[in-house]
Every structure is written in structure tokens, then in C-alpha cells.
Amino acid sequence: MDLNDIRQKVGQLFVIGFQGFEPSDDVKKFIKDNNMGGVIFFDRNISSPAQLGDLTNELQDLRLNQNEPQLFMSIDMEGGRVARLKAPFTQWPAMNILGEIGSASLGFKFAESMGRELLAVGLNLNFSPCVDVLTNPENKVIGDRSFGKDPELVSKMSSSLVRGFLKSGVLPCVKHFPGHGDTLLDSHEDLPHIKHDMARLESVEFIPFKKAFRARTELVMTAHIILEAVDPQFPATLSPKVITDLLKNKLGYRKAVITDDMEMKAVTKHYSASQAAIAAVNAGCTMLLYCHTLETQQEAFEAVVKAVSEGQIKLSIIEKNYEQVVKIKKENLKPYVPVDVTKIAKEIGHPDHLKLSKQIARKEIPAGLAT
């Protein structure tokens, strides 16, 4: 395989973010020349539904030809405080409210409704739901993003959201494996440690992930935490013992694995961008997420390409990951059609969605939905 082919396959394994309402020429060139797998959006990228629809169209048009896989147009849209889409998009309550209600049919309806608004502006991948079991009430980074402290409840609600998003045409991604619910440190700032033994992990943290896997989730996001019982040296994202031996071999997960943001300090305080990118691929991660800085994205991308060229990463790993990503897109995303910005308003903040959101906030189960 020549170098350009390697670059095209490696690029499909990256999801990147950028600053502002419009990507710079350098960002667009990086996406187009290297066949990037996707883009992630934050508040900083969004001024209105129409602007976002135009932006997703522009980015999808960067593909060299329309026969290539569409880009993942991704976002963190959980509800509550993790909500990148502001009004007039429907503003949804946090996960803990859904957990308190405890209705799987309501969770399904919640996710399906949210997904319809995401799809209306060209978004096709949502990094949600958060399936962490909140066993530490002092855990502020997860907090109300969790459905609660009962692993069975979290399992029921998580799988219902996975199915709801899939019904809407938006791909969900469950997070943060192997479980971020009993940490104190924020992995945005430092590297948390989990000290539980395997018996505890299997009876609490892993249960919602297993249920989400059975609900046919195609993506799981890693956590930048040290799981001491499995690998006391490397954070889960960079650990073959956690990603390959535990997640894939022991738990039997066969779908794609994406890292949490590789620019978080839990990683950057301890590893260079090049070291971390190579380690994540060799650990078993399918895709790498870089949310902020073009220079870091370029450094990581070039490091992976060089590592493949020099045999530090097996070419067969890249080929397998590439094929898996392309397969997920073809089988789970609706065929790409440019967003018609003149029709966005019909779906955004739909009266039915606004009503549903208010009912959830009041902890009401709408008529016709099972408890």
C-alpha cells in the first residue's frame, strides 16, 4: 500500500474539532486532503440552526467524491448542562431526571425526538448516552449526567436511549468505558484512578455497557482513567489490557471504540500527542477524537501515518479499523442528502418536543407511554 492510501485510511479514523462558525482554509484542507472521518461541533461553532445546516453541508462537500463515506457530523448533546444546541432547539432535561422517572419508553421517546432535531441540521452522531453509574455523589464531572446509582436502572435507561437514537437515524455512542461514575478527579484536568476489583466492576460499572451493547450500539467512548485492577500503568484509552483484553475479549464487544478527547489533560500531562495517538491505536481504539487544535490533530495524524509506514502500527490494524468505520457509516447512517435550510424550522423546537421536554422536567410520563 502506498503512502497516500495509508493517509486516506488513517484519516478516516480521526474525528476533529475546530474554532469558530466557519472552519479555516487550513482545517478544510486537512479534512479534504486526508479523508477525515468526521467533525465534532461545540457551542463555539453554532450561531443558529440554519448556520449549522449550512456548515454541515459545506463540510460534507469537502469529500473528494460523493461515493466516499459521509463524514460523521458529531456532537455532545446529552441534555441538562451538556447541551451544545441552544434555543430554538428543544432544551432537554438532564439524564438524572429521566433516571428518576425510570420509564424506558420515555427514554426511547426522548432520544428519538432529540435525534430528529440533530438530523434536521445534518448531525448524524451523538456522543450520548452517558452510561456511567453514579456511585460517588461527590463526582461533579458526571453528576446529573448519569441516570443514577443503580446499575440496573442505568442499564434500562441507557439501552432505551440507544434504541431511540438509532430509530431517529442518529448514531449513539455510549460513554465512558470502563466507567467514570466513581471518580473525584475530572479527566479534563488530571488522570483519575479507579481502585475497584473485578468483582465490583462486573457487578456495577460494566452492567450498563453490556446492556447497551445488546441494544446494538455501534460505538463506545473510552475514559481517560487508570483502572488499577486491570492496568495500573496506562489510562484505559491507551491500554491494550483494558481495550483489547477486557472490553473486546472478556466482555465480547465487537463494534467500534472511540477515544474521549485526546487533548484532555489526563492525556496531555503525561504523553505527547504522537505517543498518545500511537498508543491508543495499538491499545485497540478504532477512532481518535481531537476536539480543539489543528496543530495537535496534524501531529497525531502524521505520527500514526509514520508509525504504520515504519511498522510500529500494523497495517492490518488500520485496514480493519477503516473497514469497520466505513461499514458502520454505510449500515447505520441515512444516505447523505444536503440539509435544506428552508425546512429546518419545521423540526427544530417542534411543539411535540417542547411539550415532551416540559413533561420530563415535571417528572410526568406522557399518556400512552409505559412506566
Can you tell me whether residue 72 is helix, strand or coil? strand
Query: Catalytic pick from 43, 61, 188, 352?
Result: 188
In sequence order, what are the residues at sequence separation of 6 or more whose Cβ sits closer than 8 angstroms to the Cβ of residue 300?
14, 262, 273, 274, 276, 277, 288, 290
How distant, in Å, are the alpha carbons of 17, 36, 261, 352 from that of 29? 14, 10, 22, 41
Task: Clarify whether 132 is annotated catalytic.
Answer: no
Query: Catalytic pick from 144, 231, 260, 261?
Result: 260
Burial of 4 (0-12, 13-18, 19+ CB in 10 A): exposed
Beta bridge partners of residue 222, listed in sequence order: 177
Can you tell me whether residue 160 is helix, strand or coil? helix
289 and 40 Cβ atoms separated by less than 8 Å = yes
129 and 60 Cβ atoms separated by less than 8 Å = no
How distant, in Å, are the alpha carbons of 184, 263, 290, 301 from that of 269? 18, 10, 15, 19
Can you tell me whether residue 218 is helix, strand or coil? coil
Residue (of 83, 180, 90) closest to 136 by Cα position: 180
| N residues, the chain | 371
Task: Clarify whether 193 is annotated catalytic.
Answer: no
In sequence order, what are the residues at sequence separation of 6 or more whose Cβ sits closer than 8 angstroms to the Cβ of residue 310?
none
Catalytic annotation, residues:
188, 260
